[in-house]
Amino acid sequence: MRVLSWTVLFLVAVAAPGVVLARDPKSQVVTLSFYGLLCGLMFFIFQAPDVALSQFTIGAVMLPLLILLALTRMRRHNARQQRKEQK
């Protein structure tokens, strides 16, 4: 159990800079989702299943989904604005 705990802590520590250093918004969302999964796994291993379930739901699914939806809406809005300016 101790090796598993240290392994998950190491993976969380390695994945955190990946979220920050990603430049493309889509890759940021993917790495954020992966980081959320790792954090949920960490909470589960450290015997906090209620927090882990919340992290899986919010951090790994809902937050990346909302960010992708917002990015899509912003791109559509910008495309409409450019079309209006061209006319």
Whose CA is closest to 33, among 46, 22, 44?
22
Q: C-alpha distances in angstroms, 47 versus 11, 70, 73?
A: 18, 34, 39
Over residues 29-59, the pLDDT tens digits come to 999 999 999 999 999 999 999 999 999 999 8
For the chain, give every domain's residue range. 2-86
Q: Are 43 and 52 in contact (CB under 8 A)?
A: yes
- Secondary structure (3-state) at 54: helix
Contact 60, 36 (CB under 8 A): yes
Q: Write down the pTM of the prediction.
A: 0.81
Residues 5 and 69: their CA atoms lie apart, in Å, by: 34
